[in-house]
Structure 1
Amino acid sequence: MAVRARTRSGEPAGCTGCGQLSEWCHSRYARRLADVTLAGRPLRIDLSVRRLYCENTTCPKATFAEQVPGLTMRYQRRTPRLQSLVEDVGVVLVGRGGSRMLRILNIRLSRVAVLSQLMRVPLPPLVTPRVLGVDDFALYGGTYGTLLVDATTRLPLTLWEKRDAEQLGHWLREHPGVEVACRDGSLTYRQGITAGAPEAVQVSDRFHLWQGISRRVQDIASTHRGCLPAALPTVSEDDRPPIEETTENAAAASRAGRHAQSLFEAVQALTRSGRSHSSVARALGLDRRTVGKYARARTWQEVMRRPPRKPSTLDPYLDYLRQRWDEGQHSAKILHEELQAKGYLGHYQRVKMAVAPLRRGLPIDEPRERPPSPREAARWITTHPHRRSPHINERLPRLLEHCPELKLTHDLVRRFATMVDNRDAAPLPGWLSDLASSGLAPLAGLAGALHEDRHAVAQGITTSYNSGGNEGRIIDVKLQKRIMAGRAGIRLLSGR
């Protein structure tokens, strides 16, 4: 659909160079402008406009083309309405997605054209914030970027590639006025803020502080992995299955058991001779973490041990299966039909696998409670006592009573949590001293890092400033990257 129009003669138009009005017509020419669709049909405007002489002798322009407000723009073949639509679609959906959406609206533009229009959109003016948030994000591969956020309005300010203290200091010197800077425990950002805004109060984010402590607790739990089974309820001799030795003999006779036993003996022999884990890994062709696992184990059965079976819908019928097996019914098909009559809705294959140990003279594999993993134990310790489930409240005291190191870790973590809850940093120096003298390497290393940054840590405990806005905007950046299949660079991410 085409609409033909022309501008009126005799009306003055402003020069695009100096702004002086002129009515002196030089000539006319036709402009073809694309507009938004009308009733779903493409709309083209054939507009005849004038070229006028500029009557200002000092103006560098001899002639200029008149512009119709709201309809034409210089060097543009789209109307402002259509241009605004293309820019909005480009901001939301970028190249290919924006091109597909515009095609649905009956506007034909390539992905390159949509990207080109997006890159031409001017960025909003940057206003120096009073409270600045600084954080890093994964850009691609092993490369990270830096994102600055206004912590008051939670709006992004700018971002750049790499984590560079010099670049952050340069930005702060160019934009004076930052009074508070929220960051994580990064030494790079600490140095950059100190160099660029020495008067600004630095705040170490509570989330990152707690995250760092949780990682150290998990490292300690991993070191004392052998204590974790103490969290399980004690089993009396009458309740203990009498087939432990039979099961171990069956595992030793299997191919996997023989392989685990041979590797255990080889690793133990080399590590006892004083060789490092890396040297043993190169000699045996294993991964260093695998060598560490075999070196920490006391017996080869610890490495070979299968994870306990999870509960299933067949568990309520295990006693009936044993009874029918002892009565002489050894057909899995008939047993499955009998269980179906009793309300079992599971598959025949599960019944067949359940009675398979009975054919070899072994008991039915019943679900057993497994000991907590180091990550679970760390979560038990770092969770607030009022938010722990009865299951945790029953097992955690047994674990702490059995392992003094984990009990000491628990007490130190709860002391720090009390400081954060009460917004009181007065006990911080004593807590750091106890952390350093705890005798636990992960906590001692953390104490050294926190002592160097103790002023920012105290601000993070006592003030209400945090890096929550930074984390939310980093999620937005990751979303934009995923929408663009990870191919977006810094310039395109900044525009979006």
Structure 2
Amino acid sequence: METLYPLPGCRVDRVAHGSAAGVVLGVRMEGTGARCPSCQTSSTAVHGRYVRRPADLPAAGRVVQIELRVRRFCCRNPECSRRTFAERPVRLLAAQARRTRRLATAQCAVAITAGAEAGARLLKPLAMPTSPDTLLRLIRRAPLPSPSPARVLGLDDWALRKGRTYGSILVDLEAHCVRDVLPDRSTPTVSAWLRQHPGVEVIARERSTEYARAAVLGAPEAQQVADRWHLLLNGRQMMERWMTSAHPRLRALPVVPSADTPPARRHTSFSRTHAEAHAREESRSRRVAAYEAVRLRHLVGEPLLRISRTLGLARGTVRKYAAAEVFPERAARVPRPSILDPYLEYLTRRQVAGCENACELWREIRAQGFRGTSRQVHRWLQVRRTARPRSGARGYPGGNWWSKGTRPDALSSPKQLAWLCVKKPSELTPAETATLARIEQDEEASRVVALTRRFCELVRSRGVSQRARPTRSCRPFEAWLGEARTCGVRAVETFAEGLEQDGDAVRAALTSPWSNAQAEGQITKLKLLKRQMYGRANFDLLRRRVLLTV
């Protein structure tokens, strides 16, 4: 029995069946005496006995309870304040514990991995039942891993409450583990941690000015490396800001013919009722009013954050409105597939030939297998008519009709266009290539797209080499930086000025093998742990789970 179920410092006297299909082990301490915990005097004089009933690890899927007979001895030292003391199975049980040390270790491991609520549900069928509150206490009592010096550190932020409360995570990039989690991302907090943990030689970080100042104050000798993913992100954001301001001008450019583009492709959904059109107009009027308010406040020098709080708008919306010279219209969404799509080419040919009778067109495509109603053909035709119908303009958007012109082809949103500009040219589809060719007909757009592509290529093909000299590797970047700062486009010049201010970290990103990718992965695991606790864990508990999770 001792071999299969060892009990350190104890001997099993009996095995019995308990309640609820459990097992009861009758156990007593080995030895004839014990030492007084106060004066360390040995004693063999037994004063009395009592029974402790702690829980232990299960056996063959059955709950195990120990009945430990504990002896109480008399202290023979007359100068000791104790008169009696009990023997303590310190290797098996903690003082006043209701579970063995190994059971507490197993329950704590489950709690760290699955959380308190889920861990309590999991431990019940494993024959180690306990409450969620007990698991929380076990997590808080678990000793944290001893810190080890980190030479290469990854620094990034994470959201405790998105948009309001943010913390910082520090990752040892060589050991692939989290070093610490901080409650905020401010310069004093991060710099104080760096001063308390000397020896950091490289800090890979995002492009936050708070982290840049914290690294200078806390570890002035460390080399800062800007994260390459964030450099690409900043390039796309710069492109999106410029696209937002230039989008009205780019939408007026003609479509570049492409053999891969279907001639009868739908760019907008079929028109809807007057009520929906009126609701869209009211929504647009509210957006225009917000745009004008933002522009007015921005032109007088009011900070964007204050504008956001005063008007109750998102910071991204305020930033977009402030950068747009004219009101940024919403880009047309690509409609979902319709049962009318297979017949659009035929309908277009018939409409160009002069047939503008919706019922007649519907009867013709119904003979070809169309199963829809004539209403769908009416919606398709009403924005393509070249003459007023006999029944008047009722049912047409705004009471108007298109005379002899054609509806302009829709252009992707500024965000989608920015994504196309930062993608590798080899990964673009023929339709995306045609879209970029369309906007590159504008001279300024052609320059901005070319500069953005060159920057993304520099970041991607950095040619990292431990033996390469940084000055030689950064020559293409210096040439791009000089051209971008004098290109005449405000968005690009501002972006280049920001890169120059963080120049050492950006140049290190182009010549160093370190990046912040590991920190992003650790943040993903942190988010998983936070969601396991239903987002209700306080910072202390979340930090412990992150540091204790292997």
Decide which of 221, 229, 238 is 1:199's aligned counterpart.
221
1:487 alignment counterpart: 536
Residues 321-372 of structure 1: CA deviation (Å, up to 9, x unaligned): 898xx89995999989856xx4x7xxx5x54542333897966999996322
Decide which of 404, 409, 413 is 2:443's aligned counterpart.
404
Residues 48-98 of structure 1: CA deviation (Å, up to 9, x unaligned): 022346778999877554344653232311122321221012112222212
Answer yes or no: is 1:184 the counterpart of 2:224.
no
Decide which of 116, 120, 139 is 1:118's aligned counterpart.
139
How many angstroms apart in 2 are the aligned matches of 1:305 and 1:93?
Answer: 44
1:156-305 → structure 2 map (5 Å cutoff): 156-229=178-251, 230=253, 232-233=255-256, 256=278, 296=326
- Give how far 1:447 is off: 2.1
Whether the 8 Å CA contact 2:57–2:102 is kept in 1: the answer is: yes
How many angstroms apart in 2 are the aligned matches of 1:107 and 1:444?
Answer: 64
Answer yes or no: is 1:386 the counterpart of 2:416.
no
How many angstroms apart in 2 are the aligned matches of 1:361 and 1:231?
Answer: 19
SS at match of 1:354: helix
1:88 alignment counterpart: 109
Paired amino acid for 1:217: M
Whether the 8 Å CA contact 1:27–1:50 is kept in 2: the answer is: yes
1:438 alignment counterpart: 487
Whether the 8 Å CA contact 1:169–1:195 is kept in 2: the answer is: yes
Whether the 8 Å CA contact 2:244–2:324 is kept in 1: the answer is: no
Whether the 8 Å CA contact 1:35–1:79 is kept in 2: the answer is: yes
1:244 alignment counterpart: none
Whether the 8 Å CA contact 2:27–2:66 is kept in 1: the answer is: no
Decide which of 88, 97, 104 is 2:118's aligned counterpart.
97
2:12 alignment counterpart: none
Residues 13-59 of structure 1: CA deviation (Å, up to 9, x unaligned): 56656878665544332111112334444322111022346778999
Paired amino acid for 2:228: R
Distance 1:184 1:277, change over 3 A: closer
Whether the 8 Å CA contact 1:293–1:303 is kept in 2: the answer is: no
**Larger proportion of helix:** 1
Q: Judge which range, 361-370 or 152-161, deviates more.
A: 361-370
- Give how far 1:464 is off: 0.3
Distance 1:328 1:192, change over 3 A: closer
SS at match of 2:54: strand
1:324-343 → structure 2 map (5 Å cutoff): 330=359, 342=369
Decide which of 428, 453, 476 is 1:414's aligned counterpart.
453
Distance 1:223 1:78, change over 3 A: same
How many angstroms apart in 2 are the aligned matches of 1:73 and 1:190?
Answer: 47
Paired amino acid for 1:100: R
Q: Which runs of 5+ in 2 are unaligned?
A: 1-17, 265-269, 301-306, 387-395, 397-405, 464-472, 546-550
Answer yes or no: is 1:72 the counterpart of 2:99.
no
1:312 alignment counterpart: 338
How many angstroms apart in 2 are the aligned matches of 1:414 and 1:211?
Answer: 13
How many angstroms apart in 2 are the aligned matches of 1:488 and 1:253?
Answer: 46
Count of residue pairs the alignment pairs up:
466
Decide which of 37, 49, 59 is 2:58's aligned counterpart.
37
Paired amino acid for 1:296: V
Distance 1:422 1:100, change over 3 A: closer
- Give how far 1:165 is off: 1.4
Whether the 8 Å CA contact 1:227–1:399 is kept in 2: the answer is: no
How many angstroms apart in 2 are the aligned matches of 1:468 and 1:258?
Answer: 42
SS at match of 1:491: helix
- Give how far 1:445 is off: 2.1
- Give how far 1:101 is off: 1.6
- Give how far 1:234 is off: 5.0
Residues 238-281 of structure 1: CA deviation (Å, up to 9, x unaligned): x999xxxxx99x999996399579959x97xx97xx966899x9
SS at match of 1:422: coil
1:357 alignment counterpart: 379
SS at match of 2:115: helix
Paired amino acid for 2:179: L
- Give how far 1:210 is off: 1.3
SS at match of 1:105: coil
Whether the 8 Å CA contact 1:50–1:66 is kept in 2: the answer is: yes
How many angstroms apart in 1 are the aligned matches of 2:418 and 2:324?
Answer: 23
1:150 alignment counterpart: 172
How many angstroms apart in 1 are the aligned matches of 2:500 and 2:128?
Answer: 61
Distance 1:166 1:53, change over 3 A: farther
TM-score using structure 1 length: 0.78
TM-score using structure 2 length: 0.71
How many angstroms apart in 2 are the aligned matches of 1:475 and 1:262?
Answer: 37
Distance 1:455 1:354, change over 3 A: same
- Give how far 1:128 is off: 1.6
SS at match of 2:221: coil
Distance 1:24 1:261, change over 3 A: closer
Cα RMSD after superposing both structures: 4.6
- Give how far 1:441 is off: 2.3
